[in-house]
Structure 1
């Protein structure tokens, strides 16, 4: 009987030690953060960069891929903590008008975006969107786009109407669109795609935007981040870091290129290792 009692006591002590260890492990985590991201080059790049940075600081970070509309909805409903990319004041204006009272619109982290239709520079006879009417047969009447429901695709649909262009705006994805661009350029054949900057494609390929004399694509935007209501109170350290976050073309371009050349995780880790002073300036 005595032996059995001691065994139970030992088990109780061991269980207590285990629970204590688990509690210590749990308390060492600063919390779990969930990001809502789009499968766009710059979005994937900065999301993975923040994942590396925040996990080094003791947070757990989950990246959840959603369509653009789903990103805004999930932030507004409090289902996720952060969405790293909102183009304002023009491109994402419809989403902003709908959800502005239910989200935190953070400071901009990149200034001076662009978007439009891009073609290879060897298409020298095509310089404006109006010129597309002259090369419809060469392009098989197609402009290769990205996901349906994105602001870029909606604006591009309006562009076809404004310029009276008889083209099919092919809905696909960023990777599929880039595949079409690369395939055509390898053959030095004509191609037109929807594009935006910042994007690594402008460094990788000899391409140009077509001029937009009617201003359908609007003025340059800035890229902001979004956060759910209450995030600034729940995670003040992260909120302050995001408010301080800024990237220029060279910094963001290098990050995107590292990821394109390896993987989101490895590319982000490499970039973070090389930019500790910049990251420290955000986290102070």
Structure 2
């Protein structure tokens, strides 16, 4: 009987040890303490999508919760000015977006440049005969009498409306989006067909296609701009380290073109930005240290 009781006790003890072993949990992985939420206003331009997603990933790695808020450009300015958004990623100065800064600038701070020497205007494939905006009417029938634009709230569209009026162009400006405009360009280019689109640099289109800006004798589209970002009032007090990182941030045609190109190739801004970040740690370490 004693042997039987001892055997039962040993079985019970063994079972408890097994249960205890199975119930053991590893220590939780160290969590990055949340540093608050940052709302970034993002419009639908390729470079804006690229850098917004890049910064979302970089800031989340540092413990911030980041929300990307998609909106037309004018809405981004208004949102930052009223404190509904923390950051507006893309402001072209001193020319293209000057009117937005004049209208809404009382409520935000213009920060440092992260890209220099932009261009914008009317663009065609290099195989087309036209070289100047003043020549467009000579080809109106051949080119379909239309200019494929982007979102209607953009400065580029307003400048193009001015160009149509100034040059008395027999063309209709088609409101669309960056992606729709690029789809039209891709279709035309693939078939060696004519098309006139509104475009700007930086843009990945110039890495994929042989394109040219049409000369603009009247200077409707202005001189080159630089791209800066804006922050709401008080942001520098709430998130000084973020502002320090972003005011150190700078990209050139190669780095920004590579980022946009990878995103376009993989078809996903988060995956593409992640891939670019992994391949560019040396550059990122110059911004964030």
TM-score (norm 1): 0.89
Q: Which residue of 260, 265, 269 corresponds with 2:270?
A: 265
Name the residue aligned to 1:63.
Answer: 68
Name the residue aligned to 2:13.
Answer: none
How far off its partner does 1:275 sit? 1.2
C-alpha offsets along residues 47-75 of structure 1, whole Å, 9 cap, x if unaligned? 01101111111111110100111000000
Name the residue aligned to 1:99.
Answer: 104
Q: Which residue of 214, 225, 244 corresponds with 1:210?
A: 214
Q: Which residue of 75, 78, 87 corresponds with 2:92?
A: 87
1:108 partnered with 2:116: no
Aligned runs of 1:147-166 on 2, under 5 Å?
A: 147-166=151-170
Name the residue aligned to 2:148.
Answer: 144
How far off its partner does 1:131 sit? 1.1
**In 2, distance between residues paired with 1:185 and 1:69?**
31
How far off its partner does 1:109 sit? 0.3
Q: How many residues align?
A: 259
Aligned runs of 1:49-60 on 2, under 5 Å?
A: 49-60=54-65
Q: Which residue of 116, 122, 125 corresponds with 1:120?
A: 125
Can you give the 5+ residue segments of structure 2 that lack an aligned partner in the other structure? 1-29
Larger radius of gyration: 2
**In 2, distance between residues paired with 1:192 and 1:220?**
21
**In 2, distance between residues paired with 1:116 and 1:55?**
36
TM-score (norm 2): 0.88
Q: Which residue of 44, 66, 69 corresponds with 2:49?
A: 44
C-alpha offsets along residues 23-58 of structure 1, whole Å, 9 cap, x if unaligned? x97x81011111000011000000011011111111
**In 2, distance between residues paired with 1:189 and 1:268?**
33
**In 1, distance between residues paired with 2:229 and 2:155?**
16
1:195 partnered with 2:199: yes
Aligned alpha-carbon RMSD (Å) = 1.2
**In 2, distance between residues paired with 1:202 and 1:184?**
15
Name the residue aligned to 1:280.
Answer: 285
**In 2, distance between residues paired with 1:215 and 1:257?**
30
Q: Which residue of 131, 138, 163 corresponds with 1:134?
A: 138
| Farther off after superposition, 270-279 or 241-250 | 270-279
Q: Which residue of 32, 36, 50 corresponds with 1:31?
A: 36
How far off its partner does 1:229 sit? 0.4
How far off its partner does 1:213 sit? 1.1
**In 2, distance between residues paired with 1:90 and 1:224?**
12
How far off its partner does 1:120 sit? 0.6
Question: Secondary structure of the residue that 2:192 maps to in structure 1?
Answer: coil
Aligned runs of 1:177-256 on 2, under 5 Å?
A: 177-256=181-260
Can you give the 5+ residue segments of structure 1 that lack an aligned partner in the other structure? 1-23
How far off its partner does 1:217 sit? 0.3
Question: Secondary structure of the residue that 1:28 maps to in structure 2?
Answer: coil
**In 2, distance between residues paired with 1:238 and 1:275?**
19
Question: Secondary structure of the residue that 1:259 maps to in structure 2?
Answer: helix
**In 2, distance between residues paired with 1:207 and 1:251?**
20
